[in-house]
Chains A and B, each alone.
Chain A
Amino acid sequence: MNLEYFFSLFLGGLTRGSIYALIALGYTMVYGIIKLINFAHGEIYMIGAFTSLIIGAALAMSGMNPILIFVLACLAAIVYSAAYGITIERLAYRPLRKAPRLSVLISAIGMSIFLQNYVLLAQTSDFLPFPLVLPNMKFLKPIEHMMTTTQFLILISTAVVMVLLTILIKFTRMGKAMRATSQDKDMAQLVGINVDRVISMTFLIGSATAALGGVLISSHIGQINFYIGFIAGIKAFVAAVLGGIGSIPGAVLGSFVLGLTESFGTGYISSDYEDAFAFIILILILIFKPAGLLGRKENEKV
């Protein structure tokens, strides 16, 4: 068994894990606050990828610096997807705030199907090449066969997002309001927290990180279509459940566990079972720890 192969699989796993984490954050945060599995979340990721492709292509015609194009396309994707996230919440979830949870869930699934088909009609069903190729970074030259520039970028940006998010949740006023809302929504309102605003903010943050994930992974893989959100969404959802849905560190941990499992599984066993590994590990963990790795058992309040 050769060490270099092991490391390239390890780095590949971390890259996958990072992307899953960027998406899983949105699932877990939304679940933590309004106890909803937002099935339209994967579509947000896909819309992020499409937005950056469109904006990037438009800017490329002006002959701008590729790094600048990439940054601008990223920002456009984040802003546009965040707007989508907030709008979806307004239109499809807020009117159902008092309805049974199942109704909201159905609404989320409907939203997901609608967005997929909307992009299918507005764009195309074909795979589109994603040409935002960044120049290779010089200092990565010696390990280029193990880690590419985009992989490096994915790892760094995920780390930055995690740190920023931790600061936001631990130390800011909005973070405190979010934690309070996730613990007891009614009580939060009674101490003056505008819960609707907190929920909007949660959707905004979740959508922004998902969009970032969408742009990064697309530039890594090099092609996108309207269906990528579905698979990525399901995987990230598995990661969030694996780590304990509702818990942010749990989602990150679950994502890395999942990413590494997939990477080593495909590398050492067979790539035919790529998607199966995700679900095998999900089943195993849920048998032994039903609340997920870092999840807490939910006590029903009387």
Chain B
Amino acid sequence: MSDAPVLEVNDLSMVFGGLRAVDNVSLNIKKGEIVALIGPNGAGKTTFFNCITGVYIPTHGEVKINTSEGSAVLNGLKPNVINEKGLARTFQNIRLFSNMTVLENVMIGRHQSLKSGILSSVLRTKKNRIEEQKVIDDSYEILRKIGLEMYVNELACNLPYGAQRRLEIARAMATNPFLLLLDEPAAGMNPQETNDLVELIERLRKEEDITILLIEHDMSLVMTLSERIYVVDYGKMIATGTPEEIKNNKEVIKAYLGEDIDA
């Protein structure tokens, strides 16, 4: 494996009419890193995620991945194709398939990698049954790792809040990604749930070999988890560095607290 970053974003811009929501942002992540993207509300963080995962087509710039299978440019690909290439994400507000069971939510993510067609699944051919069983086994395995095995047959909408957030991560993991993009995974969580989440994210990186890019407002989580931090404000990248460097960066403090901090 070479040292090329697994995700490379070069001069990415996203313009909506007169608004430059993301303005010339570059970022790269090495394999196995946990990187945080922070910034005040409305800074363009989620838009940036949307550009990477294909929800928006960026106005300008390049999104590139480098994996063992080679490099690929992601701009302009459909979200499902980008997902196939190994990027999975969660949302700021929970977007589970709420009328399906926990198991079904995870199976959906797993299914798309399969080949056998609709006819064989209606006819229940042997090949299909074996595949299907494998999907169920895999899904159980994922749920067990994420600590949701007790909810398997519950409807997603009946889960406690923290468990719903974890299920979002489980569903993303089911698509077999190498890079996980988490959009405010700790939003609305109580301190206990946040601690569990930190532990979960570290475990995913260590045991599943996942690279993680996360947006988060909970600074204690960001400072404990991430190795590097990027800060955006009004769509522009204003700082990058280790948690220590970011804590003491004048620009960042200004962006968060305003101009007159000495007064």
Contact = CB atoms under 8 A, between A and B. Distances in A.
A binds B: yes
Interface string A170-206: 0011101101100110111111111100000100000
A194 B83 CA distance: 10
A195 B80 contact: yes
A192 B83 CA distance: 5
A174 B171 contact: no
A160 to B, nearest CB: 13
B83 A167 contact: no
Contact of B80 (A164, A167, A192): A192
Given A180-B97, A183-B99, A184-B95, A191 B122 contact: no
Interface in B46-61: 53-55
A164 B100 CA distance: 20
B118 A186 contact: no
A176 B100 contact: yes
Interface stretch (B35-43, B103-111, B158-166): B103-111
A172 B108 CA distance: 11
Given A174-B118, A184-B95, A193 B108 contact: yes
Residue of B91, B100, B118 with most partner-chain A CB within 10 A: B118
A168 interface: yes
Contact of B108 (A164, A167, A180, A201): A180
Contacts of B247: none
Nearest to B168: A187
Contacts of A174: 118, 121
Interface in A100-123: none
Contacts of A189: 54, 78-80, 83
Contact of B121 (A172, A184, A191): A172
Contacts of B113: 192
A195 B108 CA distance: 13
Contact of A173 (B55, B80, B111, B172): B111
Nearest to B79: A189
Contacts of A179: 97, 99-100
Interface in B87-117: 88-89, 91, 93, 95, 97-100, 104, 107-109, 111-114
Contacts of A180: 97, 100, 108
Interface of B: 53-55, 78-80, 83-84, 88-89, 91, 93, 95, 97-100, 104, 107-109, 111-114, 118, 121-122, 132, 171-172, 174-175
